[in-house]
Amino acid sequence: MKEMTLAPLPYADDALAPVISAKTISFHYGKHHAGYVKTLNGLVVGKEIYEGRSLESITCSSYDLNDTAIFNNAAQIWNHDFYWRSLAPAGKGGEPSAELLSAINASFGSLDACKAALADAAVKRFGSGWAWLLKKDGKLVVESTSNADTPCGKPFVTPLLVIDVWEHAYYLDWQNQRAAYVKAVVDGHLDWLSATRRFGG
């Protein structure tokens, strides 16, 4: 049986400090994200439509079949893989390509306005969830999702970046200051090089 594995972090566990500390990574990646992987592997045992399938396939099928526990864990694995790959160490995230910047300007007016829209969605998401920059039907949009909800597998949607606003993402470093965590991530740790690659693909 092919089990889900925890994808490696794309940087050292202290690479995002002090905005996201090694201690936060140790719990967020090492306990929460790893926990979703372990739980999902347990939930799919003996279930032919899920066992051995890709993460995307499990996420989509469990959503369609309303298998809530499987969906929540599968989607959270996908969302966290995407989150770690939406972030970069300070100074390493680069800038949007000319093509991506042109789409950003068309949708938001400027890169600063795009960042402000993403931050606003992240701050205003009530409770746990995610704030996304998406390419949707060819246009860029900002949306937020609740709990484990995900754009993974949605037709005509390409996620470009995400920010995790579950409290486990920021509470050790920022306590109740979600807006400060979000601002620090948006200003210094978004991986525009990866966003550019996804946009072009």
Site of interaction with Mn ion (CB under 5 A): 164, 166, 169
Q: How far is the CB of 136 from Mn ion (least distance, A)?
A: 23
Which residue's beta carbon is nearest to the bound Mn ion? 164
* Nearer Cβ to Mn ion (122/169): 169
Q: Which is nearer to Mn ion, 100 or 185 (CB)?
A: 185
Rounded to a whole number of angstroms, the minimum distance from the CB of residue 105 to Mn ion is 31
SS3 label, residue 189 = coil
Shorter beta-carbon distance to Mn ion: residue 164 or 191: 164
> What long-range pairs does 184-188 form, CB within 8 A, spacing at least 24?
184/19, 185/19, 185/20, 185/87, 186/115, 186/118, 186/119, 186/122, 187/115, 188/19, 188/90, 188/93
Instruction: Using the minimum distance from each CB to Mn ion, give the nearer residue, 140 or 169.
Output: 169
Please state, in angstroms and rounded to a whole number, the distance separating the CA atoms of residues 149 and 156.
17
Measured from the CB of residue 59, what is the shortest distance to Mn ion in angstroms?
A: 16
The nearest distance, CB 169 to Mn ion, in angstroms, is 5
Q: For residue 129, what is the enclosing H or E element?
A: strand 129-136
- Give CA–CA dist 23/125, Å, rounded: 25
Token pair 């996420």 in the structure block, residue = 59
